[in-house]
Amino acid sequence: MPNGYHDRILRVNLTSGRITVEQPGLIYFRRYLGGWNIIADVLLKEVPVGADPLGPANKLVFANGVLTGLPLSGAGRNAVGAKSPLTGAFGAAEVGGFWGAELKRAGYDAIIIEGESPRPVYLFVSNDTVELRDASHLWGLPTKETNEAISAECHDRLVRCASIGPGGENLVRYACIMNETKDAAGRTGLGAVMGAKKLKAVAARGTQPVPLHDGDAIRALARWLADGVRKGELAAGLHAAGTGRELEGGVLTGNLPTRNFRDGNFAGAEPISAEDMLAKIGTGMEACWACAVRCKKVVQAGAPWEIDPEYGGPEYETIGSFGSDCGVDDIYAISKANALCNAYSLDTIATGTTIAFAMECYEAGLLTDQDTDGLRLTFGNGEVLAPLVRKIAYREGIGELLAEGTRAAAAKIGGGSIRFACQVKGQELPMHEPRFKRALAIGYAVSPTGADHCHALHDSGLMKTRENSPLVASDDLNPLGILEPIPLESLGPEKVLAALQHTHLQVLLNCLPLCLFVPWTMAQKVEMVRAATGWNVSAYELMKAGERAWNLARVFNYREGLTAADDELPERFYGPTTSGPLATGGIDRAALKEALRDLYGMSGWDPETGAPTAGKLKELSVGWAISHLPGRS
């Protein structure tokens, strides 16, 4: 009997209604672990070249990993993937909450959704019961009402749903998938794929414990982390207020994006920080499955805002995208926009950044009151956030344009508006400034999913040394050979190596999957996988799993026509901000290109095309992927 996984993958064909179970075996799960690797394997082998992301040939993959559902802090995560309708490239997102653990307890490691239903349906998974059910009566409902209706139909309040709201149903290119009502698989538009397939939700309920090789070791790790949090020795800031704390520091460094990444001064940081938010409208902190960190804020407000606590509260990315990036310093307006995004299943990063783009177009005269349905899209006008979120979700008026994302919207607006589109490969930038953290410039440019802050290196800490030691203060990077402090402004080979090693480590977390906010060491991650599975894994083997997933995603993109020419930042970031700490200069274009050439060399990628070489794919034990490189067979 396997441990840490079930060796059971559901395949659901929405066109025919056929449901089957596949068992790929030990080698598959040890090599891939789960998450990104399963997604990339399915997309490369089964989605035709050039497939329409919103067509029936695309496949939607929900993938757990060998740590999902373990009674450990950070182990409540799952990954979701498909060909992205936002970028046309590899699409993947990771999400917490309880749904992934519930699916694992139902006895399944992943679900492959294929085809397209002729009518709205939801998938019900409960141990050996797996069936498609009519969802016509659910179509059009927000996520909260969807969850409540499915729970009532199943006569079980513990049923967990991964669902979409009107944003996914109306094929907003950056629609997300919500685990329950607070946790979003936010990036790359996977909710639109779900909507195109007429799949309203996947409801999971499991009663089977996850099989473990050494349950005592898992429980000991869980106690260690919980004790550290309780004593204030681990994750203290996250436990107290989650993300979005001390935003004034972001203003002082230039890291807080302001008015569509254009400006550098923002006086409203303190009123929208996590500390002020909790003091004004916070009701407490919540946790994902089995997690002691409890980093999730919950907020509530009455009239005129009517902010429902069932939709949680804004995290840093949401505070930045609807707040400083739109020039808004009203925590009520930001929190309402967050609640609506969760209700409608919209990525808060892309939604806020797209609104900021529209505000700059409006102030530049490229959008008029007639275009905006009479809404004054000036920076700082928090009153327009909620109406715009609604219009985007329902593709009404200006929302029809903005629902396509900044790259496509700029192509329609014209007038040079592309210079205001802060996106990479079509995906909007997260709320971290690459002109401040230069390793992010590398990470954003090369990411297969478009700009992403979770698997890119935030290198501001690489200047700090350990106490009484010349070593750089990084418990993760020291064991990977990153030993010396690296200047913040550097784009040299030492920064490239650190960025590359860090990326492989972070993508590993997308395969296990494991939350990046929980301070597990690499040695503990190895111990977890050994205790869960019984495999004699090493840190090297786990890192290779992350590198494998990274390379397979790169192969998928190259197959779909993306090359080294797409590893580029928006023009704005090669120049300075208008004010603030970053007003003296932007990223050096030539230095970034040289850094990317170094990264290709270190990665074993072709220096001209940026595609993984045959030798690299063979070294990663995925030589089968060579045939998916154009010109190879």
Domain count, the chain: 3
Asked whether residue 216 is domain-assigned, the answer is: no
Residue 633, pLDDT above cutoff 60: no
633 in a structural domain = no
Query: Could you tell me the residue range of the domain that residue 386 belongs to?
Result: 233-428
- Burial code (b: 16+ CB inside 10 Å, e: under 16) for 283-319 equals eebbbbbbbbbbbbbbbbbeeebebbbbbbbbbbbbb
pLDDT (0 to 100) of residue 69: 97
Same domain, 552 and 419: no
CA 344 to chain centre: 17
Assess if residue 254 is contained within a domain. Answer: yes
Kindly state whether residues 49 and 82 are assigned to the same domain.
yes
Task: Express as a percent the part of the chain with pLDDT over 90.
Answer: 95
User: Is 223 within the bounds of a domain?
Assistant: no
Same domain (yes/no): 413, 518:
no
Question: Is residue 607 predicted with pLDDT exceeding 60?
Answer: yes
Judge if 389 and 506 occupy the same domain: no
**Count of other CB atoms within 10 angstroms of residue 526:** 18
Give the end of a domain, one of 399, 428, 457: 428
DSSP 439-472: HHHHHHHH-TTSS-SSSS--GGGGG-B-TTSSSB
Q: Sorting pLDDT into bands at 50, 70 and 90, what band is 632?
A: low
What is the model's pLDDT at position 570? 98
The residues, ordered by sequence, that sit 6+ positions from 321 with a Cβ below 8 Å of its Cβ are 257, 348, 349, 351, 352, 353, 356, 431
Count of Cβ atoms closer than 10 Å to residue 468 Cβ? 5
Residues linked to residue 136 through DSSP beta bridges, in sequence order: none
pLDDT at 192: 99
List 175's β-bridge partners, or say none.
Answer: 346
Amino acid at 512: L
Same domain, residue pair 142 and 174? yes
562 in any annotated domain: yes
pLDDT at 468 over 90: no
- 394 phi-psi bin (left φ>0, alpha ψ -120 to 50, beta other): alpha
Q: What is the pLDDT of residue 2?
A: 94
Q: Taking residues 389-398, report their average pLDDT.
A: 98
Q: Tell me which of 372, 397, 428 is where a domain ends.
A: 428
Same-domain pairing of 589 and 512? yes
228 is a domain residue? no
- Whether residue 215 is contained in a domain is answered as no
Residues 490 and 509 in one domain: yes
Query: Has residue 28 been placed in a domain?
Result: yes
Per the structure block, which two tokens stand in for 253? Answer: 């460094």
CATH number of 158's domain: 3.60.9.10
Structure tokens at 263: 């400006």
Lowest mean pLDDT among 122-136, 431-445, 476-490: 476-490
Instruction: Quickly list DSSP for 7-66.
Output: S-EEEEETTT--EEEE---HHHHHHH-BHHHHHHHHHHHHSPTT--TTSTTS-EEEE-BT
Is residue 290 located within the same domain as residue 164? no
Q: Which pLDDT score, from 0 to 100, does residue 317 have?
A: 98
pTM of the model: 0.97
Average pLDDT over residues 91-120: 98
Same domain, 420 and 565: no
Q: What digits encode the pLDDT tens for the residues 406-460?
A: 999 999 999 999 999 999 999 999 999 999 999 999 999 999 999 999 999 999 8
Q: Name every residue whose Cβ is closer than 8 Å to that of residue 27 and which is 6 or more positions away in sequence.
A: none
* pLDDT of 631 above 80: no
Residues 508 and 469 in one domain: yes
Whether residue 340 is found in the same domain as residue 412: yes
pLDDT in tens, 274-331: 999 999 999 999 999 999 999 999 999 999 999 999 999 999 999 999 999 999 999 9
CATH of the domain at 365: 1.10.569.10
Question: 370, 400, 428 — which closes off a domain?
Answer: 428
- The pLDDT mean for the chain works out to 97
Each residue's pLDDT tens digit, 558-591:
999 999 999 999 999 999 999 999 999 899 999 9
Structure token digits, residue 353:
């950044």
CA atoms lying within 13 Å on the CB side of residue 593: 7
For residue 520, the domain's CATH number is 1.10.599.10
Question: So what's the pLDDT on residue 630?
Answer: 78
Same domain, 173 and 244: no
DSSP for 339-378, written as a single string: HHHHHHTB-HHHHHHHHHHHHHHHHTTSS-TTTTTT----
